[in-house]
Amino acid sequence: MARKKSLWCYFFLVVLKETSASVECSFIDAQEIILMCIPVGVPDVILKLESLPLNGYTEMVLLRACGITELEHDSLKKTSLKYIDLSENRLKELDSDSLHNSPSLAYLNISNNLLSRLPVDLFVGNPHLLVLDLKNNFLGNLDVGVFDSLVQLHTLDLSWNLLLGKDLSSLLFVNNKYITYLSFAGNDMNGTPDSLLQSLEVLEVLDLNSCGITEVAKFATQSNLKTIKELNLSSNKISKLVNEEIFKNLHNLEILNLAHNELEHIDENVVAPLRNLKVFNLSHNELTYLSDNLFRRMLSLENIDLSHNLISKVEVEMFLNNPLKILNLSFNMFTFLPNTFSMSLRKPNANITEFYFHQNPWQCACLKEILYEVDHLKVTHKTDVPGYMRPICVTSLEMRCIRDDSVNDVFRNMYYNILDGNRIWNTIRDSSNRCLKPRLHTAHFRAVSKEVGR
Ligand SMILES: *[C@@H]1O[C@H](CO)[C@@H](O)[C@H](O)[C@H]1NC(C)=O
Ligand SMILES: *[C@@H]1O[C@H](CO)[C@@H](O)[C@H](O)[C@H]1NC(C)=O
Ligand SMILES: *[C@@H]1O[C@H](CO)[C@@H](O)[C@H](O)[C@H]1NC(C)=O
Ligand SMILES: *[C@@H]1O[C@H](CO)[C@@H](O)[C@H](O)[C@H]1NC(C)=O
Ligand SMILES: *[C@@H]1O[C@H](CO)[C@@H](O)[C@H](O)[C@H]1NC(C)=O
Protein backbone atom coordinates (compact mmCIF):
# COMPACT_ATOMS: atom_id res chain seq x y z
CA MET A 1 0.00 0.00 0.00
CA ALA A 2 1.30 3.37 -0.96
CA ARG A 3 0.58 4.89 2.41
CA LYS A 4 2.27 2.12 4.32
CA LYS A 5 4.73 3.57 6.71
CA SER A 6 7.41 2.24 8.90
CA LEU A 7 6.42 2.22 12.48
CA TRP A 8 9.18 4.16 14.03
CA CYS A 9 8.69 5.11 17.50
CA TYR A 10 10.21 8.24 18.79
CA PHE A 11 10.99 9.03 22.29
CA PHE A 12 11.89 12.53 22.79
CA LEU A 13 12.23 15.31 25.07
CA VAL A 14 9.91 17.97 25.94
CA VAL A 15 11.50 20.24 28.44
CA LEU A 16 11.43 21.15 31.38
CA LYS A 17 10.93 23.24 34.34
CA GLU A 18 11.35 20.92 37.23
CA THR A 19 10.13 17.69 35.85
CA SER A 20 10.65 16.20 32.50
CA ALA A 21 7.91 14.38 30.75
CA SER A 22 7.99 12.56 27.52
CA VAL A 23 6.04 12.66 24.35
CA GLU A 24 5.64 9.36 22.69
CA CYS A 25 4.33 8.04 19.51
CA SER A 26 1.59 5.53 19.32
CA PHE A 27 -0.27 4.02 16.43
CA ILE A 28 -3.85 4.25 15.41
CA ASP A 29 -4.16 1.63 12.76
CA ALA A 30 -0.59 0.82 12.02
CA GLN A 31 -0.51 3.44 9.32
CA GLU A 32 -0.84 6.79 10.92
CA ILE A 33 1.76 7.92 13.33
CA ILE A 34 0.47 10.02 16.11
CA LEU A 35 2.42 11.78 18.73
CA MET A 36 0.90 12.18 22.08
CA CYS A 37 2.05 13.19 25.49
CA ILE A 38 2.35 10.57 28.13
CA PRO A 39 0.88 10.74 30.65
CA VAL A 40 -2.01 12.65 29.24
CA GLY A 41 -3.33 15.37 31.47
CA VAL A 42 -0.34 15.87 33.75
CA PRO A 43 -1.63 18.76 35.80
CA ASP A 44 1.36 20.67 36.99
CA VAL A 45 4.23 19.97 34.73
CA ILE A 46 5.12 23.02 32.76
CA LEU A 47 6.61 22.19 29.46
CA LYS A 48 8.28 24.07 26.75
CA LEU A 49 7.85 22.19 23.59
CA GLU A 50 11.05 22.04 21.60
CA SER A 51 11.32 20.70 18.11
CA LEU A 52 9.23 17.61 17.88
CA PRO A 53 11.01 14.77 16.18
CA LEU A 54 8.43 14.56 13.48
CA ASN A 55 9.35 12.67 10.40
CA GLY A 56 8.07 13.19 6.92
CA TYR A 57 5.12 10.85 7.54
CA THR A 58 3.68 12.21 10.72
CA GLU A 59 0.15 13.28 10.11
CA MET A 60 -1.25 13.72 13.56
CA VAL A 61 0.04 15.47 16.60
CA LEU A 62 -2.10 14.94 19.68
CA LEU A 63 -0.78 17.07 22.49
CA ARG A 64 -3.92 17.74 24.42
CA ALA A 65 -3.56 18.69 28.06
CA CYS A 66 0.20 18.39 28.15
CA GLY A 67 0.87 21.53 30.14
CA ILE A 68 2.55 23.16 27.15
CA THR A 69 3.32 26.82 27.66
CA GLU A 70 5.29 27.56 24.55
CA LEU A 71 5.96 26.16 21.12
CA GLU A 72 9.58 26.53 20.31
CA HIS A 73 10.54 27.77 16.92
CA ASP A 74 10.16 25.12 14.23
CA SER A 75 8.44 22.57 16.42
CA LEU A 76 5.48 22.00 14.14
CA LYS A 77 7.06 22.56 10.80
CA LYS A 78 6.40 19.42 8.86
CA THR A 79 4.83 19.21 5.51
CA SER A 80 2.99 16.00 6.27
CA LEU A 81 0.98 17.32 9.22
CA LYS A 82 -2.76 17.20 8.76
CA TYR A 83 -4.15 17.15 12.26
CA ILE A 84 -2.88 19.09 15.25
CA ASP A 85 -4.54 19.04 18.65
CA LEU A 86 -2.98 21.44 21.13
CA SER A 87 -6.13 21.96 23.16
CA GLU A 88 -6.13 22.33 26.94
CA ASN A 89 -2.61 23.62 27.23
CA ARG A 90 -1.29 26.93 28.48
CA LEU A 91 -0.19 28.61 25.31
CA LYS A 92 -0.22 32.37 25.63
CA GLU A 93 0.98 33.19 22.16
CA LEU A 94 1.97 31.66 18.89
CA ASP A 95 4.78 32.85 16.61
CA SER A 96 3.60 34.06 13.23
CA ASP A 97 5.43 31.31 11.44
CA SER A 98 4.55 28.38 13.73
CA LEU A 99 2.35 26.78 11.10
CA HIS A 100 3.93 28.06 7.92
CA ASN A 101 5.40 24.78 6.75
CA SER A 102 2.32 22.65 7.19
CA PRO A 103 0.50 23.18 3.90
CA SER A 104 -1.63 20.03 4.32
CA LEU A 105 -2.99 21.03 7.69
CA ALA A 106 -6.73 20.34 7.77
CA TYR A 107 -7.55 20.33 11.49
CA LEU A 108 -6.22 22.62 14.18
CA ASN A 109 -7.51 22.63 17.71
CA ILE A 110 -6.06 25.27 20.04
CA SER A 111 -9.13 25.49 22.23
CA ASN A 112 -8.78 25.97 25.97
CA ASN A 113 -5.49 27.83 25.99
CA LEU A 114 -4.52 31.35 27.05
CA LEU A 115 -4.16 33.01 23.67
CA SER A 116 -4.94 36.70 23.67
CA ARG A 117 -4.08 37.47 20.07
CA LEU A 118 -3.38 35.75 16.80
CA PRO A 119 -0.57 37.01 14.55
CA VAL A 120 -2.17 38.29 11.37
CA ASP A 121 -0.11 35.97 9.17
CA LEU A 122 -0.40 32.87 11.39
CA PHE A 123 -2.37 30.88 8.82
CA VAL A 124 -0.84 32.04 5.55
CA GLY A 125 0.70 28.62 4.94
CA ASN A 126 -2.49 26.62 5.59
CA PRO A 127 -4.83 27.00 2.63
CA HIS A 128 -6.32 23.56 3.26
CA LEU A 129 -7.41 24.12 6.82
CA LEU A 130 -10.98 22.93 7.25
CA VAL A 131 -11.51 22.98 11.01
CA LEU A 132 -10.22 25.66 13.36
CA ASP A 133 -11.17 25.54 17.03
CA LEU A 134 -10.17 28.59 19.08
CA LYS A 135 -12.81 28.14 21.74
CA ASN A 136 -12.15 29.28 25.27
CA ASN A 137 -9.13 31.54 24.92
CA PHE A 138 -8.67 35.22 25.70
CA LEU A 139 -8.86 36.62 22.20
CA GLY A 140 -9.87 40.25 22.48
CA ASN A 141 -9.90 41.16 18.82
CA LEU A 142 -9.17 39.62 15.46
CA ASP A 143 -7.08 41.52 12.92
CA VAL A 144 -8.48 41.96 9.46
CA GLY A 145 -6.72 39.47 7.24
CA VAL A 146 -6.03 36.82 9.86
CA PHE A 147 -8.39 34.29 8.21
CA ASP A 148 -7.79 35.43 4.62
CA SER A 149 -5.80 32.41 3.51
CA LEU A 150 -8.30 29.92 4.94
CA VAL A 151 -10.28 29.68 1.75
CA GLN A 152 -11.61 26.18 2.47
CA LEU A 153 -12.45 26.63 6.13
CA HIS A 154 -15.78 25.03 7.05
CA THR A 155 -15.80 24.96 10.85
CA LEU A 156 -14.77 27.93 12.94
CA ASP A 157 -15.27 28.01 16.67
CA LEU A 158 -14.54 31.36 18.31
CA SER A 159 -16.76 30.78 21.31
CA TRP A 160 -15.94 31.89 24.85
CA ASN A 161 -13.30 34.47 24.04
CA LEU A 162 -13.32 38.18 24.87
CA LEU A 163 -14.42 39.38 21.46
CA LEU A 164 -16.52 42.50 21.09
CA GLY A 165 -18.75 42.25 18.05
CA LYS A 166 -18.73 45.99 17.62
CA ASP A 167 -14.97 45.93 16.99
CA LEU A 168 -15.03 43.17 14.39
CA SER A 169 -14.47 44.27 10.82
CA SER A 170 -16.88 43.46 8.01
CA LEU A 171 -13.81 42.32 6.08
CA LEU A 172 -12.83 39.67 8.61
CA PHE A 173 -14.43 36.77 6.72
CA VAL A 174 -14.22 38.01 3.12
CA ASN A 175 -12.32 34.93 1.96
CA ASN A 176 -14.14 32.35 4.04
CA LYS A 177 -17.20 31.79 1.96
CA TYR A 178 -17.37 28.04 2.68
CA ILE A 179 -17.84 28.25 6.43
CA THR A 180 -20.75 26.02 7.39
CA TYR A 181 -20.39 26.11 11.19
CA LEU A 182 -19.61 29.30 13.06
CA SER A 183 -19.78 29.97 16.77
CA PHE A 184 -19.46 33.27 18.60
CA ALA A 185 -21.09 31.94 21.75
CA GLY A 186 -20.00 33.57 24.97
CA ASN A 187 -18.62 36.74 23.35
CA ASP A 188 -20.28 40.14 23.50
CA MET A 189 -21.88 40.48 20.10
CA ASN A 190 -23.81 43.70 20.69
CA GLY A 191 -23.31 46.24 17.94
CA THR A 192 -21.79 43.76 15.49
CA PRO A 193 -21.79 45.26 11.96
CA ASP A 194 -24.74 43.93 9.93
CA SER A 195 -22.34 42.97 7.14
CA LEU A 196 -19.94 40.87 9.26
CA LEU A 197 -20.95 37.63 7.51
CA GLN A 198 -21.66 39.13 4.09
CA SER A 199 -19.30 36.78 2.21
CA LEU A 200 -20.56 33.51 3.63
CA GLU A 201 -22.40 31.41 1.10
CA VAL A 202 -23.14 28.09 2.74
CA LEU A 203 -23.47 28.75 6.46
CA GLU A 204 -25.63 26.11 8.15
CA VAL A 205 -25.10 26.52 11.87
CA LEU A 206 -24.68 29.82 13.65
CA ASP A 207 -24.24 29.69 17.40
CA LEU A 208 -24.88 32.96 19.19
CA ASN A 209 -25.77 31.61 22.61
CA SER A 210 -24.75 33.76 25.59
CA CYS A 211 -23.76 36.77 23.46
CA GLY A 212 -25.50 39.38 25.61
CA ILE A 213 -27.71 40.50 22.76
CA THR A 214 -31.06 42.19 23.35
CA GLU A 215 -32.59 41.54 19.95
CA VAL A 216 -32.19 39.06 17.14
CA ALA A 217 -28.92 40.16 15.58
CA LYS A 218 -29.26 41.56 12.06
CA PHE A 219 -25.85 40.25 11.04
CA ALA A 220 -27.26 36.76 11.60
CA THR A 221 -30.24 37.13 9.28
CA GLN A 222 -28.96 38.79 6.11
CA SER A 223 -30.08 37.55 2.71
CA ASN A 224 -26.85 35.62 1.96
CA LEU A 225 -27.56 33.57 5.11
CA LYS A 226 -30.71 31.94 3.80
CA THR A 227 -28.77 28.64 3.96
CA ILE A 228 -28.81 28.62 7.78
CA LYS A 229 -30.46 25.56 9.25
CA GLU A 230 -29.71 26.03 12.90
CA LEU A 231 -29.63 29.29 14.81
CA ASN A 232 -28.84 29.29 18.49
CA LEU A 233 -29.85 32.47 20.27
CA SER A 234 -30.30 30.92 23.68
CA SER A 235 -29.20 32.59 26.92
CA ASN A 236 -29.41 36.15 25.64
CA LYS A 237 -31.55 39.09 26.72
CA ILE A 238 -34.03 39.15 23.90
CA SER A 239 -37.32 40.51 25.22
CA LYS A 240 -39.25 41.24 22.06
CA LEU A 241 -39.83 39.70 18.67
CA VAL A 242 -41.58 42.48 16.82
CA ASN A 243 -39.48 43.26 13.73
CA GLU A 244 -41.45 41.57 10.97
CA GLU A 245 -38.46 41.64 8.62
CA ILE A 246 -36.00 39.96 10.93
CA PHE A 247 -36.55 36.33 9.87
CA LYS A 248 -37.65 36.99 6.33
CA ASN A 249 -34.52 35.40 4.82
CA LEU A 250 -34.37 32.36 7.06
CA HIS A 251 -36.89 30.17 5.32
CA ASN A 252 -34.55 27.17 5.47
CA LEU A 253 -34.11 27.37 9.21
CA GLU A 254 -34.88 24.04 10.90
CA ILE A 255 -33.83 24.66 14.49
CA LEU A 256 -34.35 27.91 16.33
CA ASN A 257 -33.26 28.08 19.95
CA LEU A 258 -34.54 31.09 21.85
CA ALA A 259 -34.44 29.40 25.25
CA HIS A 260 -33.34 31.41 28.30
CA ASN A 261 -34.32 34.82 27.02
CA GLU A 262 -36.81 37.38 28.30
CA LEU A 263 -39.59 36.99 25.76
CA GLU A 264 -43.02 37.99 26.97
CA HIS A 265 -44.75 37.94 23.67
CA ILE A 266 -44.08 36.81 20.11
CA ASP A 267 -45.70 38.46 17.17
CA GLU A 268 -46.91 35.72 14.81
CA ASN A 269 -45.92 37.71 11.73
CA VAL A 270 -42.31 37.81 12.87
CA VAL A 271 -41.95 34.03 12.86
CA ALA A 272 -44.23 33.37 9.89
CA PRO A 273 -41.33 33.20 7.36
CA LEU A 274 -39.85 30.24 9.25
CA ARG A 275 -41.87 27.80 7.26
CA ASN A 276 -39.34 24.97 7.42
CA LEU A 277 -38.78 25.11 11.13
CA LYS A 278 -38.75 21.70 12.81
CA VAL A 279 -37.61 22.51 16.33
CA PHE A 280 -38.74 25.69 18.07
CA ASN A 281 -37.25 26.14 21.50
CA LEU A 282 -38.90 28.83 23.61
CA SER A 283 -38.24 27.34 27.01
CA HIS A 284 -37.22 29.52 29.98
CA ASN A 285 -38.85 32.73 28.84
CA GLU A 286 -41.62 34.86 30.29
CA LEU A 287 -44.38 34.07 27.84
CA THR A 288 -47.84 34.39 29.36
CA TYR A 289 -49.87 33.59 26.27
CA LEU A 290 -49.44 32.48 22.69
CA SER A 291 -51.27 34.00 19.81
CA ASP A 292 -53.61 31.57 18.06
CA ASN A 293 -51.70 31.66 14.79
CA LEU A 294 -48.19 31.55 16.15
CA PHE A 295 -47.34 28.14 14.68
CA ARG A 296 -49.92 28.03 11.95
CA ARG A 297 -47.60 28.60 9.02
CA MET A 298 -44.84 26.31 10.26
CA LEU A 299 -45.85 23.27 8.32
CA SER A 300 -42.82 21.19 9.32
CA LEU A 301 -42.81 21.92 13.02
CA GLU A 302 -42.25 18.70 14.99
CA ASN A 303 -40.87 19.73 18.33
CA ILE A 304 -42.04 22.70 20.39
CA ASP A 305 -40.44 23.45 23.72
CA LEU A 306 -42.56 25.90 25.71
CA SER A 307 -41.43 24.67 29.10
CA HIS A 308 -40.58 27.08 31.94
CA ASN A 309 -42.87 29.93 30.92
CA LEU A 310 -45.99 31.46 32.43
CA ILE A 311 -48.54 30.15 29.96
CA SER A 312 -51.98 29.16 31.23
CA LYS A 313 -53.90 28.58 28.05
CA VAL A 314 -53.47 26.80 24.73
CA GLU A 315 -56.02 25.85 22.11
CA VAL A 316 -55.85 22.65 20.11
CA GLU A 317 -56.27 24.72 16.93
CA MET A 318 -52.86 26.29 17.52
CA PHE A 319 -51.16 23.02 16.63
CA LEU A 320 -53.42 21.63 13.96
CA ASN A 321 -51.11 22.56 11.08
CA ASN A 322 -47.99 21.08 12.60
CA PRO A 323 -46.79 17.49 12.25
CA LEU A 324 -46.11 17.62 15.95
CA LYS A 325 -44.15 14.83 17.61
CA ILE A 326 -42.88 16.42 20.81
CA LEU A 327 -44.56 19.08 22.90
CA ASN A 328 -43.17 20.34 26.16
CA LEU A 329 -45.57 22.39 28.30
CA SER A 330 -43.99 21.52 31.63
CA PHE A 331 -43.32 24.20 34.28
CA ASN A 332 -46.04 26.61 33.22
CA MET A 333 -49.27 27.91 34.70
CA PHE A 334 -51.82 25.43 33.42
CA THR A 335 -54.58 24.26 35.71
CA PHE A 336 -56.34 22.53 32.81
CA LEU A 337 -55.99 21.83 29.10
CA PRO A 338 -58.73 21.69 26.47
CA ASN A 339 -60.82 18.55 26.53
CA THR A 340 -59.19 15.63 24.63
CA PHE A 341 -56.17 17.78 23.92
CA SER A 342 -53.71 14.94 23.33
CA MET A 343 -56.17 12.93 21.25
CA SER A 344 -56.43 15.94 18.98
CA LEU A 345 -52.68 15.91 18.49
CA ARG A 346 -53.05 12.49 16.92
CA LYS A 347 -54.69 13.66 13.77
CA PRO A 348 -53.92 12.45 10.29
CA ASN A 349 -50.65 14.36 9.85
CA ALA A 350 -49.56 14.71 13.47
CA ASN A 351 -48.33 11.91 15.62
CA ILE A 352 -47.46 13.11 19.04
CA THR A 353 -45.17 10.64 20.77
CA GLU A 354 -43.85 12.74 23.64
CA PHE A 355 -45.90 15.21 25.62
CA TYR A 356 -44.63 16.83 28.81
CA PHE A 357 -46.99 18.69 31.10
CA HIS A 358 -45.64 18.04 34.61
CA GLN A 359 -45.00 20.83 37.12
CA ASN A 360 -48.06 22.89 36.42
CA PRO A 361 -50.63 23.91 39.04
CA TRP A 362 -52.98 21.18 37.81
CA GLN A 363 -56.48 20.61 38.98
CA CYS A 364 -56.27 16.94 39.90
CA ALA A 365 -59.37 16.04 37.90
CA CYS A 366 -57.97 17.65 34.74
CA LEU A 367 -54.60 16.00 35.22
CA LYS A 368 -56.30 12.66 35.61
CA GLU A 369 -58.09 13.09 32.29
CA ILE A 370 -54.85 13.90 30.49
CA LEU A 371 -53.05 11.00 32.09
CA TYR A 372 -55.82 8.72 30.97
CA GLU A 373 -55.49 10.03 27.43
CA VAL A 374 -51.71 9.79 27.18
CA ASP A 375 -51.69 6.31 28.70
CA HIS A 376 -54.32 5.24 26.25
CA LEU A 377 -52.37 6.73 23.33
CA LYS A 378 -49.06 5.41 24.65
CA VAL A 379 -47.56 8.88 24.58
CA THR A 380 -44.39 9.32 26.61
CA HIS A 381 -44.84 11.73 29.51
CA LYS A 382 -43.69 12.42 33.04
CA THR A 383 -45.70 13.13 36.11
CA ASP A 384 -42.86 14.42 38.16
CA VAL A 385 -39.19 15.21 38.11
CA PRO A 386 -37.19 13.51 40.82
CA GLY A 387 -35.76 15.99 43.25
CA TYR A 388 -38.46 18.59 42.82
CA MET A 389 -40.54 18.85 45.95
CA ARG A 390 -43.60 20.10 44.20
CA PRO A 391 -47.24 19.27 44.56
CA ILE A 392 -48.53 17.32 41.59
CA CYS A 393 -52.01 18.73 41.59
CA VAL A 394 -54.59 20.41 43.78
CA THR A 395 -58.24 19.63 44.05
CA SER A 396 -61.53 20.73 45.41
CA LEU A 397 -63.87 18.28 47.08
CA GLU A 398 -65.69 18.05 43.83
CA MET A 399 -63.39 15.96 41.62
CA ARG A 400 -64.40 17.55 38.34
CA CYS A 401 -62.21 19.30 35.78
CA ILE A 402 -63.37 22.87 35.60
CA ARG A 403 -62.31 24.36 32.29
CA ASP A 404 -62.94 27.95 33.12
CA ASP A 405 -60.30 30.66 33.21
CA SER A 406 -62.03 32.31 36.12
CA VAL A 407 -61.09 29.51 38.51
CA ASN A 408 -57.46 29.38 37.45
CA ASP A 409 -56.38 31.78 40.14
CA VAL A 410 -58.03 29.76 42.82
CA PHE A 411 -56.17 26.60 41.97
CA ARG A 412 -52.97 28.43 41.29
CA ASN A 413 -53.02 30.18 44.62
CA MET A 414 -53.62 26.94 46.34
CA TYR A 415 -50.80 25.30 44.51
CA TYR A 416 -48.28 28.06 45.04
CA ASN A 417 -49.17 28.48 48.65
CA ILE A 418 -48.40 24.85 49.16
CA LEU A 419 -45.23 25.31 47.21
CA ASP A 420 -44.17 28.33 49.24
CA GLY A 421 -44.84 26.35 52.36
CA ASN A 422 -42.41 23.87 50.88
CA ARG A 423 -44.64 20.89 51.50
CA ILE A 424 -45.85 18.35 49.08
CA TRP A 425 -49.51 17.77 48.61
CA ASN A 426 -49.83 14.44 50.29
CA THR A 427 -48.36 15.77 53.52
CA ILE A 428 -51.07 18.36 53.91
CA ARG A 429 -53.25 17.25 56.72
CA ASP A 430 -55.44 19.00 59.20
CA SER A 431 -54.93 19.02 62.95
CA SER A 432 -56.62 15.64 63.31
CA ASN A 433 -54.23 14.27 60.71
CA ARG A 434 -56.90 13.95 58.07
CA CYS A 435 -56.04 14.87 54.50
CA LEU A 436 -57.37 18.27 53.66
CA LYS A 437 -60.06 18.30 51.05
CA PRO A 438 -60.88 21.90 50.33
CA ARG A 439 -64.18 22.77 48.71
CA LEU A 440 -64.44 24.79 45.58
CA HIS A 441 -65.09 28.08 47.19
CA THR A 442 -62.65 30.91 46.80
CA ALA A 443 -62.69 32.18 50.32
CA HIS A 444 -62.31 28.71 51.67
CA PHE A 445 -59.46 27.93 49.32
CA ARG A 446 -57.64 31.05 50.36
CA ALA A 447 -58.06 30.11 53.98
CA VAL A 448 -56.81 26.62 53.33
CA SER A 449 -53.95 27.93 51.28
CA LYS A 450 -53.01 30.30 54.02
CA GLU A 451 -53.08 27.59 56.58
CA VAL A 452 -51.08 25.30 54.39
CA GLY A 453 -48.62 28.00 53.44
CA ARG A 454 -47.74 28.88 57.00
C1 LIG B 1 -11.05 20.51 20.42
O2 LIG B 1 -10.63 19.88 21.60
C3 LIG B 1 -11.55 19.84 22.65
C4 LIG B 1 -10.93 19.13 23.82
O5 LIG B 1 -9.98 19.94 24.41
C6 LIG B 1 -12.78 19.08 22.21
O7 LIG B 1 -13.76 19.11 23.23
C8 LIG B 1 -13.34 19.74 20.97
O9 LIG B 1 -14.43 18.98 20.49
C10 LIG B 1 -12.28 19.82 19.88
N11 LIG B 1 -12.81 20.58 18.75
C12 LIG B 1 -13.09 20.05 17.57
C13 LIG B 1 -13.64 20.95 16.53
O14 LIG B 1 -12.88 18.87 17.31
C1 LIG C 1 -27.49 26.21 21.99
O2 LIG C 1 -26.89 26.74 23.17
C3 LIG C 1 -27.23 26.08 24.38
C4 LIG C 1 -26.54 26.79 25.52
O5 LIG C 1 -27.19 28.01 25.79
C6 LIG C 1 -26.83 24.63 24.30
O7 LIG C 1 -27.27 23.96 25.47
C8 LIG C 1 -27.46 23.98 23.07
O9 LIG C 1 -27.00 22.66 22.95
C10 LIG C 1 -27.08 24.75 21.82
N11 LIG C 1 -27.59 24.13 20.59
C12 LIG C 1 -28.89 24.04 20.20
C13 LIG C 1 -29.17 23.36 18.93
O14 LIG C 1 -29.80 24.50 20.85
C1 LIG D 1 -34.25 23.93 24.71
O2 LIG D 1 -33.12 24.62 25.20
C3 LIG D 1 -32.80 24.27 26.54
C4 LIG D 1 -31.64 25.15 26.94
O5 LIG D 1 -30.62 25.17 25.97
C6 LIG D 1 -32.45 22.79 26.59
O7 LIG D 1 -32.21 22.41 27.92
C8 LIG D 1 -33.60 21.97 26.03
O9 LIG D 1 -33.21 20.63 25.95
C10 LIG D 1 -33.96 22.45 24.64
N11 LIG D 1 -35.13 21.74 24.15
C12 LIG D 1 -35.14 21.03 23.03
C13 LIG D 1 -36.42 20.42 22.62
O14 LIG D 1 -34.13 20.89 22.36
C1 LIG E 1 -38.84 19.49 27.08
O2 LIG E 1 -39.05 18.17 26.66
C3 LIG E 1 -38.26 17.75 25.57
C4 LIG E 1 -38.68 16.35 25.19
O5 LIG E 1 -38.27 15.45 26.17
C6 LIG E 1 -36.80 17.77 25.99
O7 LIG E 1 -35.99 17.44 24.88
C8 LIG E 1 -36.43 19.14 26.47
O9 LIG E 1 -35.13 19.11 26.97
C10 LIG E 1 -37.39 19.61 27.55
N11 LIG E 1 -37.05 20.99 27.87
C12 LIG E 1 -36.35 21.35 28.94
C13 LIG E 1 -36.06 22.81 29.11
O14 LIG E 1 -35.96 20.54 29.76
C1 LIG F 1 -46.65 7.30 15.20
O2 LIG F 1 -45.46 7.10 15.95
C3 LIG F 1 -45.33 5.80 16.50
C4 LIG F 1 -44.10 5.80 17.38
O5 LIG F 1 -43.01 6.46 16.75
C6 LIG F 1 -45.28 4.79 15.37
O7 LIG F 1 -45.18 3.49 15.92
C8 LIG F 1 -46.53 4.91 14.52
O9 LIG F 1 -46.44 4.05 13.41
C10 LIG F 1 -46.70 6.34 14.02
N11 LIG F 1 -47.99 6.48 13.33
C12 LIG F 1 -48.15 7.21 12.23
C13 LIG F 1 -49.54 7.30 11.69
O14 LIG F 1 -47.21 7.80 11.69
- Ligand 3 centre to CA of 341 (Å) is 23
437 lies in some domain: yes
- Ligand 4 centre to CA of 305 (Å) is 6
301 lies in some domain: no
> Is the torsion defined by CA of 368, 369, 375, 381 positive or negative?
negative
What is the amino acid identity at position 174?
V
State if residue 235 touches ligand 2 by the CB under 6 angstroms criterion.
Answer: yes
The residue range of the domain holding 39 is: 1-91
- Ligand 4 centre to CA of 90 (Å) is 37
118 lies in some domain: no
360 lies in some domain: no
As to burial, measured by CB atoms within 10 angstroms (0-12 exposed, 13-18 middle, 19+ buried), residue 391 is: buried
446 lies in some domain: yes
Question: Of all protein residues, whose CA lies closest to atom 2 belonging to ligand 1?
Answer: 87
Mutate to test the pocket of ligand 5, among 303, 346, 353, 379 (most ligand atoms within 8 A of CB): 353
Please give the share of the chain, as a percent, with pLDDT higher than 70: 76
359 lies in some domain: no
State if residue 183 touches ligand 1 by the CB under 6 angstroms criterion.
Answer: no
Higher per-residue confidence, 18 vs 348: 348
State if residue 335 touches ligand 4 by the CB under 6 angstroms criterion.
Answer: no
State if residue 188 touches ligand 1 by the CB under 6 angstroms criterion.
Answer: no
State if residue 159 touches ligand 1 by the CB under 6 angstroms criterion.
Answer: no
269 lies in some domain: no
* Beta-bridge partner residues of 14: 21
- Ligand 3 centre to CA of 64 (Å) is 30
Mutate to test the pocket of ligand 5, among 303, 346, 349, 351 (most ligand atoms within 8 A of CB): 351
Q: 91, 112, 127: which is the final residue of a domain?
A: 91
Q: How far is Cα 327 from Cα 319, in angstroms, rounded to an integer?
A: 10
User: Taking CB atoms and a 6 Å cutoff, what residues make up the pocket around ligand 5?
Assistant: 351, 353
State pLDDT tens for residues 19-77.
344 554 444 433 455 555 655 445 544 455 555 556 667 788 878 877 788 877 666 76
State pLDDT tens for residues 341-356.
888 888 777 789 999 9
- Model-level pTM? 0.86
Residues 138 and 116 sit within 8 Å (Cβ to Cβ): yes
Higher per-residue confidence, 110 vs 436: 110
State pLDDT tens for residues 75-111.
676 667 899 999 998 899 998 888 888 899 999 999 9
The total domain count for the chain is: 2
Mutate to test the pocket of ligand 1, among 87, 89, 154, 183 (most ligand atoms within 8 A of CB): 87
Region of 370 please: left (phi>0), alpha (psi -120 to 50) or beta: alpha
Distant-in-sequence, close-in-space partners of 201: CB < 8 Å, separation ≥ 6: 177, 178, 224, 227
Helices then strands, counting H and E runs in the chain, come out as: 5, 20
Q: 69, 91, 113: which is the final residue of a domain?
A: 91
Mutate to test the pocket of ligand 4, among 303, 305, 360 (most ligand atoms within 8 A of CB): 305
State pLDDT tens for residues 360-397.
988 888 988 998 888 888 888 876 656 555 667 888 77
Distant-in-sequence, close-in-space partners of 96: CB < 8 Å, separation ≥ 6: 119, 120, 121, 122
Q: 91, 122, 145: which is the final residue of a domain?
A: 91
State if residue 236 touches ligand 2 by the CB under 6 angstroms criterion.
Answer: no
374 lies in some domain: no
- Average pLDDT score, the chain: 81
